Amino acid sequence: MAGRERGDIGREFGRLVRRGALLALIFLVIALFVLWRADSPRIERLRMALVDWATPSVELTANPLGAVADMMQDFENFTRVYEQNKTLRAEIQRLRAWRESAQQLERENAQLRALNNLHLAPRIGFVAGEVIADSGSPFAQSALLNIGAADGVLDGAAAVDGEGVVGRVVGVGEHASRILLLTDFNSRVPVKVLPSGRRAVLTGENSDAPRLSFLDTMAGVAPGDRVTTSGDGGVFPPDLPVGVIAVIGDYGARMQISADYERLEFVRVLLYRPSTTIDTPGGLIAPDPQAGAPTVGAVGN
């Protein structure tokens, strides 16, 4: 019986202690709240004294916590870098496979060219310039470049940006040149529609959607088809991107130009001339009699 009474007394004492601690904690919280919110010079000095007394302890506690937080952040960064490294290694493996395939195709291509004695067109050079002025007129669509004859620019050369054909050079000075944009009323560019291969002439009308003229038929032509230069006439190189067909109506097809005229700052002028020229007539074509060359009748003899 005595042991049971001592146990009851211990439990009761423990409850009293817990209740007292809870009351003390509540009192401390209320006191701190009143102390922190009270507006009095004396209480202000007391608050600052408490802050000065608690600052070293807070710093001692914050430094290990900050170190732990930094360690966790470093671990997260390490995990992220590790995952990125795995992704990059896989990408490198794929790129190596593509490189091997590309090298094999290049070797096969070289062998086929050697077997067929194939002559490829030379690469097209260019000179880059900055657009320093534009017409800004509804009756003329042109731009002025800060490159000219001294830089190798030729009259009639094609001008392109990063998206496609911009226009062609219509005037060349020593250090400046003017390009006529595709949307100008005087612009005419031979083009072809892909994949049908239909030939046409891109006609500017001083609008954002130039028209395809001389398109013999609309069969196989649909909105979204790509349009490139055809190379007819020898002014523009073939297969330069021009734009896509935007709409087909009763009056033909209209295009959406790939070049961004709104943000046209830099232009490349192509240094292009046809790689082959024909300076003598064939046997079935009679040349100019004043040139003293044989006539068509002489061919049959």
* Mean pLDDT of the region 191-203: 88
CA distance 223 to 255: 9
> What one-character DSSP code corresponds to residue 65?
H
* Mean pLDDT of the region 163-188: 90
* Mean pLDDT of the region 204-212: 87
Tell me how crowded residue 222 is: count the other CB atoms within 10 A of its CB. Answer: 11
Domain ranges in the chain are 125-271
* Mean pLDDT of the region 145-155: 90
Tell me how crowded residue 164 is: count the other CB atoms within 10 A of its CB. Answer: 20
At 237 the pLDDT is: 85
The CATH superfamily assigned to 125-271 is: Rod shape-determining protein MreC, domain 1 (2.40.10.340)
Q: Which range, of 29-33, 68-72, 186-190, 275-279, averages the lowest pLDDT?
A: 275-279
Residue 103 predicted with pLDDT over 50: yes
How confident is residue 231, by pLDDT bands cut at 50, 70 and 90? confident
At 296 the pLDDT is: 44
CA distance 141 to 180: 6
Continuous segment of H or E residues that includes residue 187: none
pTM of the full structure: 0.52
At 191 the pLDDT is: 92
- Contact residues for 193 (Cβ-Cβ < 8 A; gap 6+): 200, 212, 215, 221, 225, 226, 227, 245
At 115 the pLDDT is: 61
At 244 the pLDDT is: 92
Distances (CA, A) of 149 to 16, 135, 177: 102, 21, 8
More confident position, 148 or 68: 148
CA distance 231 to 218: 21
At 126 the pLDDT is: 86
Continuous segment of H or E residues that includes residue 25: helix 2-37
Strand pairing partners for 236?
A: none
- Contact residues for 46 (Cβ-Cβ < 8 A; gap 6+): 35
At 169 the pLDDT is: 92
Residue 269 predicted with pLDDT over 50: yes
3-state SS class at 286:
coil
> Nearest 10 degrees: CA dihedral of 17, 23, 24, 26?
150
Q: Which range, of 10-19, 32-41, 190-199, averages the lowest pLDDT?
A: 32-41
